[in-house]
Amino acid sequence: MIELRAPLTEKAVRGLKIGDTVYLTGDAITGRDEMHMRAVECSRQGKAVPEGLVGSVLYHSGPIVIKDGDKWKAVAAGPTTSARMDSLEPEMIRRFGIRAIIGKGGMSKETGDAMREAGCVYLAAVGGTAVSLAESIVEVIGVEWEDLGMAEAMWRFRLDKMGPLIVAMDAGGGSLYENVRSRLVR
Amino acid sequence: MIKLPEPIDQVVANLLKAANTKLPPDIGWAMEAAAGWESDPTARTQLGAIMDNVKKAEVLGRPMCQDTGIPTFFVRGRFDASIRGEIIKGLIRATETVPLRPNTVDPLTRKNAGDNLGKGMPPIHYLPTDDDFVEIAVLIKGAGSENMTRLAMLNPSDGIEGVKRFVVDSVLEAGGRPCPPGVIGIGIGGTAEDCVAMSKEALMIPLDTENGDPMLKELEEELFIKLNGSGLGPMGLGGATTSLGVRIKTAYCHTASLPVAVSIGCWATRRAVARITGTAVEYGQGADR
């Protein structure tokens, strides 16, 4: 078991290997389809992007968040299917220097190539374990692009030992999904 | 659990709360059995995390998964046209109180309705009968698994082997995306739209009941063993636990057709059922009809 602390350095990221189990502490942002489209669009047009995006840990999640007094609170926040973001993820990784992606189900070879080039890992959260994962979100620091709706907005979370997360695609080009797929018995 | 009569909208809100916060017991048992035979360390870590999450969700009364899906309702028995309105009222209430994530959007503009309603929402399948009760069942699964639904209009000459191949290929190509290990619902026969509906309704059948048709029972068992021997494992990261159960529903079809549909339920295949009579409401978490 490895404890990681965000912001992540390229060295720390490149030290991770597929099959490692990690727990992550520090800040992360959420992003799904709509957030990816808007972030890339802004960047292409030279517009500013919200704080926290560059060099971030990007969590593919559309959480259930409630207002608790004047603060937000995440009540359920598991990973969403990462493959939906494959078309924009290589560009996201290269433009914003994303250091880690947390999601489920894995991503394409093109995304893996961008990860290897830029120094980024894919951490598989256990799909559906929304309550446990929400408990590791100790603070909702803020929300950007709230007009995209609860699931699609960019939430900024502070995490305390989120996990278990499994290094499923590493910065050396390794993919646990690919290993499993190549050995499937039909 | 039997309760005194409550307004139907409240029954619907209760169903949505129960389905989202409490895993059906038969699925929990299947998961515990899987944890017993699984030897892959990554798979074991993940099954442990799932069972831990299930306990927390139940104790805290929170949705076990943030994707509270699109609830699909199955209504059968004796009812009138007001039932749709009651279901909608219950869904609005549950969206606020459970809470459920607002998931419904216009398919083209992608504008979110904000209340899990909108044109055509929620889907309700009706079956009027002469019984002296009305049974309302709800199935909840997220988009991760819903997006992996597959329909094939096979040729009759593809036969039962063709059916097996299509099911196995559908599950393995879906990989980790529908959050395995889950329940595999299969529809065989009918028309195209009925076939898909059967595959989804098959997910309502508890895993601890036996298929009454010996041939289908054998097919369910064969596919279960085959899928778990594939090596896909929890979340597609390897292991001996790809499915917790296989359920099949069939209907007669056209002599020139062999429709097969696969609906994959994630490990969090959430269901709840209420049978309402004049004097009581009986709650459960599975329905086989």
User: Residue B54: closest CA among chain A residues belongs to which residue?
Assistant: A129
DSSP string spanning A45-64?
TT----TT-TT-EEE----E
Question: What local confidence, expressed as pLDDT, does residue B75 receive?
Answer: 97
- CA distance linking residue B154 with residue B249, whole number of Å: 17
Q: What is the per-residue pLDDT across A78-99, written as a single tens digit (0 to 9) for each?
A: 999 999 999 999 999 999 999 9
Question: What local confidence, expressed as pLDDT, does residue B13 receive?
Answer: 98
Burial of B36 (0-12, 13-18, 19+ CB in 10 A): exposed
Question: What local confidence, expressed as pLDDT, does residue B278 receive?
Answer: 87
How many other CB atoms sit within 10 Å of the CB of residue B157?
A: 7
The residue from A13, A29, A35, A36 that is catalytic is A36
Q: Is the pLDDT of residue A149 over 70?
A: yes
Question: What local confidence, expressed as pLDDT, does residue A1 receive?
Answer: 86
Question: What local confidence, expressed as pLDDT, does residue B286 receive?
Answer: 87
Task: Sort strands A2-5 and A21-30 into parallel, antiparallel or unpaired.
Answer: parallel
Provide ipTM, 2 decimals: 0.92
Q: How far is B237 from chain A (nearest CA, A)?
A: 6
State the average pLDDT over residues A113-138: 97
Burial of A93 (0-12, 13-18, 19+ CB in 10 A): buried
Q: What percent of chain A has pLDDT over 90?
A: 98
Strands (E), B64-123: 72-77
Touching A: B residues 207-246, CB under 8 Å: 229-238
Per-residue pLDDT band for A171 (boundaries 50, 70, 90) equals very high
Question: What local confidence, expressed as pLDDT, does residue B273 receive?
Answer: 98
- CA distance linking residue A131 with residue A153, whole number of Å: 19
**Mutation target among A18, A179, A184 for the B interface, most CBs of B within 10 A:** A184
Question: What local confidence, expressed as pLDDT, does residue B1 receive?
Answer: 66
A167, B38, B236 from A186: Cα distances, Å: 26, 19, 15
Burial B121-146 (b: 16+ CB within 10 A, else e): bbebeeeeeeeebbbbbbbbbbbbbb
Q: Does B238 sit within 8 Å of A179, measured CB to CB?
A: yes
Q: Does B45 sit within 8 Å of A62, measured CB to CB?
A: no
Provide block-wise average pLDDT over 10 residues at a time, chain B (289 residues): 82 98 97 95 97 97 96 97 97 97 95 96 97 97 96 98 98 97 98 98 97 98 98 97 98 98 98 94 88
What residues in A contact B240, CB-CB < 8 Å?
Answer: none
Report the SS3 class of residue B182. Answer: strand
| pTM (predicted TM-score) | 0.94
User: Residue B239: closest CA among chain A residues belongs to which residue?
Assistant: A180
Would you call A60 a catalytic residue per the annotation? no
Question: What local confidence, expressed as pLDDT, does residue A102 receive?
Answer: 98
Q: How far is B1 from chain A (nearest CA, A)?
A: 25
Q: Which of B53, B110, B168 sits opposite A131 (nearest CB)?
A: B53
Q: Which of B64, B102, B105 sits opposite A131 (nearest CB)?
A: B64
What residues in B contact A168, CB-CB < 8 Å?
Answer: 237
Q: Does A181 sit within 8 Å of B103, measured CB to CB?
A: no
Q: What is the per-residue pLDDT across A25-65, written as a single tens digit (0 to 9) for each?
A: 999 999 999 999 999 999 999 999 999 999 999 999 999 99
